[in-house]
Amino acid sequence: MAVYTMRRLLAAIPVLLAASVLCFLLIDLSGDPLGDLRVAQPPVDPAVIASEEVRMYLDRSVPQRYLLWMTGIGGNGDIGLLQGKFGPSVRGPAFDIGAEIGARFLITLRLVVIALMMAIGLAIVSGVISAVKQYSTVDYLLTFTGFLALAMPAFWIGALIKEGGVWANRELGTGFATIGAASADTRGFTAWESFTDAAAHLFLPTLALMLTGYAALSRYQRASMLEVLNSDYVRLARAKGVRNRVVIRRHALRTALIPLTTVSALVIAGTIDGAIIIERIFQWRGLGDFFLESVSTNDSYSVMGWLMLSGIIVVTANLVADLLYGVLDPRIRYG
Amino acid sequence: MQARTKLARTAAMVLVPVMALAACAGSDDDTEGADGPGTTDPADPPGNGVEAQPGFETCPEDPYNCNSGERADGGSITWLVVSGVRTWNTYSPEGGTVYGLQVLHGIYPHIGMFGPDRETFEFNMDLLAEEPQLLSEDPYSWQYVIRDEAVWDDGTPITADDFSVSWKLGTSAEAGHCEGCRSRATTNFDQIESVEGSDDGKTVTLTLKPGEVNLEWFTMFGVDDVGGGVMPAHVAAENGFDVDDPAQLGDYFEWLQETMPTFSGGPYRIVEGNLEERVIKEPNENWYGETQPTLDTYIMRIIPDQGAWVPALSNNEIHGGSPIQLIEDILRSLDQMPNVHYHIQPGPAWEHIDFNLDVPELQDVALRRAIFTAIDADNIAARIYGEMYPEYTRRTNHLFAEDHPNHVDLVTETGMGSGDTDAALAILAEAGYEFDGQTLTLDGDQIGPFRLRATSDLVRSTSMELIQADLAQIGVETNIEPTDDLGTMLFEGDYHIAQFGWSGDPAFVGLTSQYYTTGSPSNFGGFTNDDVDRLAQEELTRLDIDEAADIANEIMRIVLDEAYVLPLWDVPVFTFITDDYVNVRDNTATSLRGVYNNHEWGTAVQ
């Protein structure tokens, strides 16, 4: 297993390198980081623009810049991915891309972790019920709900849930918040008030993100459960007179969870990236918002930082999924 | 695995009800929203440019006092800021954006601003003991007398030292005052020879270099000047920066970039905040002005996503704002909120169509005139704004809005923007072009297709489509190519015909030079004309502002005759506010917009 893991990790390096080259080129083609500065009114002093070009290393060729961004050799100490430095930002010399990505990642994680825990939990429950009660009214209802959530784009789900939250506040006197991860002014809050405030801000985006993740997972769980329920060993257990509840919980569910577990690893990676839309709708200042802001300002090194993090998450998630499969399914052996 | 699954399931089962309960618990402030949706008549257009909204009815006649009212003590307001701010230093290109100036207004002392009548420059008589006077025209010199009561929040007097430091922060590297300062605009500050203090620094005398003139000297250190006000000198000293040392002043510049200002020389001080989400202000207890703030807390909430504004307003998470353009969906929603009022009026920006004269075919002035003549600007504006704001104003002068005292209608008589296809075809025929009913040719060669470019927002997308249709009438084929990077597009001249906007306050001296002289970095389309170059230079050296305006209009006539730029319309904007607040109104003469008088805001006396 260790050898396999190491081999996979080593194999990931050229993948990430190739991705980084491609992304760097595409970002370079997509626009000038100083475009806004060059057309600012009143015009910015050409000397300032020239100094910004030097600061952003735009006075160097694309290959030179890529090597600099990767290694930091020949830079001013603010660049070099291998040294843990993400490069300068158009947001000024004081802006630390790495620190910002770190802080934003934690915000996104807060949203994603809870949403995914709920999505996975709900998917398991509804998937199992659907499979056990196949072709029943409950199954049709859960299937309909799953497909509905699957069919609706994330921005639409987010907007609907937000409107629903506002309606609930107005009609039912609830206190759901629609923007940000916390109230604007939390000074003087007690621990409980801070908790309720965070929960009030977390509820709607979590629900939206949960629904987008839940839909696919529940279908996956249902299919997996049905396959197991129709297998010989489950039939044998039933024939032996094992109680249905025990058959489902101990024999069927445990096996049926294997595919879901591996898929979940990939879904987690996808959801971190996919949180862009939900973060935008609910104005969370997480990684998604960071990415959009960076793209809109042509902040090339920030976009690269986000893309590399995203690439690493996807590669890691794939690896984790493969490893989990090996751990959970005794039939799989890695060599 | 079993343990993990159990944990996930348990967490899901526990978290949902806990979060729901916690959310339902709410806070004391979350008590109100809109009173419920009203009926919507799809045929009923949004926008009350026609029917004035309560509080704002008198704005056209009384722009300084509309939506006034008696203020109650205390309360809190959360104001929408529609874009994030990159740094705290308003003197830098990153920090000196419209939004940076809005967020930090009320912190830095300033000389004044153009008032809501879009004509009068209102000196800040909270700061000044008397209206500034021009002392001399040779050398050009003027004086500020600062009130003895004017102090920073820590009691340090506001003096000439602050003006001197601010001046140096705004200069270019060539001036030699600061190493590493990256001022967002250096032209005016580089004109200054000296900033000197007398009377314990309470009298500030500014003198320009020999031969330099600044007809709009009174706007310097105003809210729309480079930094939006004056930076403190004593804060630099307290933090170990010697402002007389150019290198250390450069360090102070960077310190201002990254440091949230907890100092204040205005009515508010910042108590908490960040540049991405919100800035919380409270009244500055040492504010020396006549009108004291009554709000306990003034929060600026940054929400770039337009779709989030109405739910946040309904949910009492914001109370007002002044976005940069009309958005029909939002106006429709506001119409359904009886406790929210809004006011639409022409904003500080105006749209125009520019040619890129590097394109060989477009170097023919006859073709350019014909194209401008074929474009029906009124039809485009009416289709875009007609329902929301039928009183939109066509722009008939490149520099001066209709209500500017120096405005002259230069466009109408030329027929450009009229959509007169016959006249356009006549111009083309006279110049030797042939139109077969579908295609325009010159000497047998087809004209175009031209790349018609603009950003992809709804207004400009609609405009592009209508322009394309207008030009098809005279056989000029165009391909619409939207961009999401206007800056690069303009800088690289990556267009044939482009629509974009300029924005500004009523100050105008130097703008013609900036937009239309040979080689100017803002002259994106490469226009060159010897007379314009000469007149623009003349404008800068005139000592009489009306003479300068006449010259500016003369330049505009030439630019229009050359059919380089076609002004389209003033971009309408709106300000909205719930009826819980008074004294909130728009000032479209300044980039501050609704926050221009934030110290006068208050909760309405019930």
Q: Which of A31, A32, A94 sits opposite B254 (nearest CB)?
A: A94
Share of chain B above pLDDT 70, in %: 91
Provide the shortest C-alpha distance from residue B270 to chain A (in Å): 12
Report the alpha-carbon distance of residue A19 to residue A16 in Å, rounded: 5
Report the alpha-carbon distance of residue A180 to residue A205 in Å, rounded: 10
**What was the pLDDT predicted at B86?**
86
Which residues of chain A make contact with B9, given a CB cutoff of 8 A? 121, 124-125
SS3 A75: coil
- Residue-wise pLDDT tens digits, B84-100: 888 999 999 888 889 99
A316, part of any domain: no
Instruction: Supply the DSSP symbol for B151.
Output: B
Task: Please give the residue that has the higher pLDDT: either A260 or B234.
Answer: B234
Instruction: Check whether residue A122 and residue A67 sit in a common domain.
Output: no
Query: Comparing B81-85, B420-424, B586-590, which segment has the lowest mean pLDDT?
Result: B81-85
A321, part of any domain: no
**Amino acid identity at B316:** N
A63, part of any domain: yes
**Domain definitions of chain B by residue range:** 1-87+265-606
A141, part of any domain: yes
Report the alpha-carbon distance of residue B346 to residue B350 in Å, rounded: 9
Report the alpha-carbon distance of residue B125 to residue B128 in Å, rounded: 5
- Residue-wise pLDDT tens digits, B32-48: 333 333 333 434 545 44
Return the sign of the alpha-carbon dihedral for residues A234, A237, A238, A244: negative
Cβ neighbours around B364 below 10 Å, total:
17
A304, part of any domain: no
B-chain residue closest to A51, CA distance: B182
- Which CATH number is associated with domain B1-87+265-606? 3.10.105.10
Instruction: Check whether residue A198 and residue A258 sit in a common domain.
Output: yes
Instruction: Check whether residue A113 and residue A205 sit in a common domain.
Output: yes
A-chain residue closest to B226, CA distance: A42
- Residue-wise pLDDT tens digits, B337-365: 999 999 999 999 999 999 999 999 999 99
Instruction: Check whether residue A117 and residue A77 sit in a common domain.
Output: no
| Furthest CA-CA distance within chain A | 86
Contact between A193 and B27 using a beta-carbon 8 Å cutoff: yes
User: What number is the average pLDDT over the span B52-79?
Assistant: 90
**What was the pLDDT predicted at A12?**
84
Report the alpha-carbon distance of residue A49 to residue A55 in Å, rounded: 10
Which residues of chain A make contact with B299, given a CB cutoff of 8 A? 184-185
Q: What is the extent of the structural domain holding A213? A: 100-296
**What was the pLDDT predicted at A162?**
95
Instruction: Check whether residue A74 and residue A163 sit in a common domain.
Output: no
Provide the shortest C-alpha distance from residue A201 to chain B (in Å): 8
**3-class SS letters over A239-281:** HCCCCHHHHHHHHHHHHHHHHHHHHHHHHHHHHHHHHHHHHHH
Report the alpha-carbon distance of residue B217 to residue B563 in Å, rounded: 32
Query: Comparing B52-56, B105-109, B507-511, B577-581, which segment has the lowest mean pLDDT?
Result: B52-56
CA distances from B547 to A247, A259, B76, B505, B538 (A): 95, 80, 48, 19, 10
Instruction: Check whether residue A120 and residue A10 sit in a common domain.
Output: no
Contacts 24+ apart (CB under 8 A), B528-533: B528/B357, B529/B558, B529/B559, B529/B562, B531/B558, B532/B558, B532/B559
For helices B458-472 and B377-385, give the axis angle rounded to 10 degrees. Answer: 150
Report the alpha-carbon distance of residue B578 to residue B310 in Å, rounded: 12
Instruction: Check whether residue A233 and residue A193 sit in a common domain.
Output: yes
Q: What's the CATH number where A153 sits?
A: 1.10.3720.10
Q: Which residues of chain A have pLDDT under 50?
A: none
- Residue-wise pLDDT tens digits, A319-334: 888 887 777 777 766 6
Contact between A175 and B13 using a beta-carbon 8 Å cutoff: no
**What was the pLDDT predicted at A333?**
67
A91, part of any domain: no
Helix (H) or strand (E) holding B397: none
**Amino acid identity at B542:** R
A302, part of any domain: no
**What was the pLDDT predicted at B25?**
39
Instruction: Check whether residue A32 and residue A160 sit in a common domain.
Output: no
In this structure, the strands spanning B320-321 and B297-302 are unpaired
With beta carbons less than 8 A apart as the criterion, state whether A211 and A157 touch. Answer: yes
Return the sign of the alpha-carbon dihedral for residues B574, B579, B583, B584: negative
User: What number is the average pLDDT over the span B198-219?
Assistant: 95
Provide the shortest C-alpha distance from residue A322 to chain B (in Å): 15
Q: Which of B48, B80, B221 is nearest to B578 (CA)?
A: B80
Token pair 């974009």 is at which residue?
Answer: B500
Provide the shortest C-alpha distance from residue B476 to chain A (in Å): 29
For helices A191-229 and A254-282, give the axis angle rounded to 10 degrees. Answer: 140
In this structure, the strands spanning B297-302 and B278-283 are antiparallel
Instruction: Check whether residue A158 and residue A259 sit in a common domain.
Output: yes
**Number of helices and strands (H, E) in chain A?**
13, 2
**Per the structure, how many domains does chain A have?**
2
Query: Comparing A257-271, B361-375, B475-489, which segment has the lowest mean pLDDT?
Result: A257-271
Instruction: Supply the DSSP symbol for A310.
Output: H
Which residues of chain B make contact with A184, given a CB cutoff of 8 A? 78, 277-278, 280, 299, 301, 317
Which residues of chain B make contact with A45, given a CB cutoff of 8 A? 172-173, 183, 185-186
Contacts of B187 (CB under 8 A, 6+ apart): A42, B510
Which two structure tokens, joined as six digits, stand for B370?
A: 């014909």
Which residues of chain A make contact with B84, given a CB cutoff of 8 A? 293
Contact between A39 and B297 using a beta-carbon 8 Å cutoff: no
Contact between A114 and B18 using a beta-carbon 8 Å cutoff: no
Token pair 């986000």 is at which residue?
Answer: A306
Question: If you count them, how many residues does chain A have?
Answer: 335
**Could you tell me which residues are beta bridge partners of residue B604?**
B71
Which residues of chain A make contact with B227, given a CB cutoff of 8 A? none
Work out the angle at residue B371's Cα, subtended by the Cα atoms of residues B365 and B373, and round it to the nearest 5 degrees.
100
Report the alpha-carbon distance of residue B151 to residue B146 in Å, rounded: 10
Return the sign of the alpha-carbon dihedral for residues B474, B480, B484, B485: negative
Task: Please give the residue that has the higher pLDDT: either A214 or B167.
Answer: B167
Provide the shortest C-alpha distance from residue A14 to chain B (in Å): 32
Q: How many CB pairs under 8 A join A and B?
A: 221
Q: ipTM higher than 0.90?
A: no
Which residues of chain A make contact with B484, given a CB cutoff of 8 A? 296
Which two structure tokens, joined as six digits, stand for B203?
A: 């009298």
For residue B28, pLDDT beyond 60: no
- Residue-wise pLDDT tens digits, B274-283: 988 999 999 9
**What was the pLDDT predicted at B30?**
35
Phi, psi (degrees; rounded to nearest 5) at A47? -65, -35
Instruction: Check whether residue A59 and residue A124 sit in a common domain.
Output: no
Contact between B258 and A94 using a beta-carbon 8 Å cutoff: yes
Report the alpha-carbon distance of residue A203 to residue B19 in Å, rounded: 6
Q: Residue B51 — pLDDT band, cuts 50, 70, 90?
A: low
